Amino acid sequence: MWHFFPGQYMPSYQVNRALTQAHYGGGEFAEILEVASEITPGDNESFHQAWAKMGNKVFDLAENYLSDHKNVSARRTYLRAFNYLRTSEFFLKPSDNRKQPSYMKAKDAFQKAISLFDNKPKQVRVPFEGSFLPGYLFLPEGVKNPPLMIMFGGLDSLAEELYFGPCQHLNERGIALLAMDGPGQGASLRFNHIYTRYDFNVAGSAVLDWALANLQDEVDTLSIGIMAVSMGGYMAARCAAFEPRFKICVVWGAVWSYYDIWKNRLDNHPLAEIVMHIVGAQNMADARERLKMFTLDGVAEKISMPTYVLHGEDDRQNFVENAYKLRDALTCEKVVEIVPKESSGSAHCQIDDFTKTFNMYDWIQKKMYGVGNAASSEQKELKAETFNA
């Protein structure tokens, strides 16, 4: 992975992340490099200030476009503002009184952007244990009853950021996306105070049940898959293992044991307080104890549906050994793709080169248009015609 800051992995990773997402409307190269030039490596305060400064500036530009009824320009500008403001929040500790307002303004920018989409996504609320999990349904244009991928992010990530890459790649291939804030993520954590859980499959099944009950007229409910990224590599595998109704499983960044990932990290790691927050712990000792349950031991072999695992050999967050261990444990039909460390895209979740995800999305397309065999021949013919057009 290219380092904007030589020898400084974490801030360089975030710059790469923004540059890659810029291809999908999540940034402008010149703006991103301007932000990077104002960051002092290792100083998370400068990181927040630089991204917030640009995010607020771009948000104001979007507001001006909107007031002038320049909706296309406003839409594109709100999307950039969202991603910059989201990034500004990334390293803020949960105790920082700027974290919630930063998140709320980022979310506001995204929702203003999608209100200007020609093909507007639907905002959804999935009832969950006395509260709800929020998300977005993105439907591909021109496809009647498409297959559906349910997707979660990782750590405390936001459903909105799944628009920059996953949504567009799936929709282009005729597949709908239900992007969700699961337990410990996005608004589920920040507004509804729902912490993450080792049995993430409970949330996965709740979302699947909701989709089956509420989306019958919009998607092919016989072709629903599960997918997740980063820490979500554990979540997707867990959901698939205990929910055989999913037709395929996609693990974008393997995680065998989240405890193993954190057991040797320092208590002052940049993400330590966030990990404490998502599990509801008061200190890192407590958090590590809770993370011991986040393991695929005795779980991975229960996955029954076709599964795709994508991992970078130079992943410095979830080491590639996680992917090899998962590969060896899976007994289902599987494809395990390792992006070699000599190549771009070998970093964590291919954040430095999303073109290395193309094989994964092509596999999803092939599998999801081959499942749902009980669907009517007329419906399948329509799908094929739409896809091949």
Active-site annotation holder among 230, 257, 304, 344: 230
Q: How many CA atoms lie within 13 A of 249 on its CB side?
A: 34
Is residue 230 annotated as part of the catalytic site, yes or no?
A: yes
356 closest CA partner among 310, 308, 315: 310
Strand partners, 338: 311
- Contact between 219 and 146 under an 8 Å Cβ cutoff? The reply is yes
- Contact between 212 and 221 under an 8 Å Cβ cutoff? The reply is yes
Token output for 113: 């952007």
Question: CA of 374: how far to CAs of 190, 369, 380, in Å?
Answer: 40, 12, 10
- Contact between 227 and 150 under an 8 Å Cβ cutoff? The reply is yes
- Which are the contacts of 235, defined by CB distance < 8 A and separation ≥ 6? 152, 154, 182, 200, 204, 228
Q: What is the rounded CA–CA span in Å between residue 68 and residue 168?
A: 28
Neighbours of 2 (CB within 10 A): 11
- Which are the contacts of 91, defined by CB distance < 8 A and separation ≥ 6? 44, 47, 48, 270, 271
- Contact between 183 and 200 under an 8 Å Cβ cutoff? The reply is yes
By annotation, the residues acting in catalysis are: 230
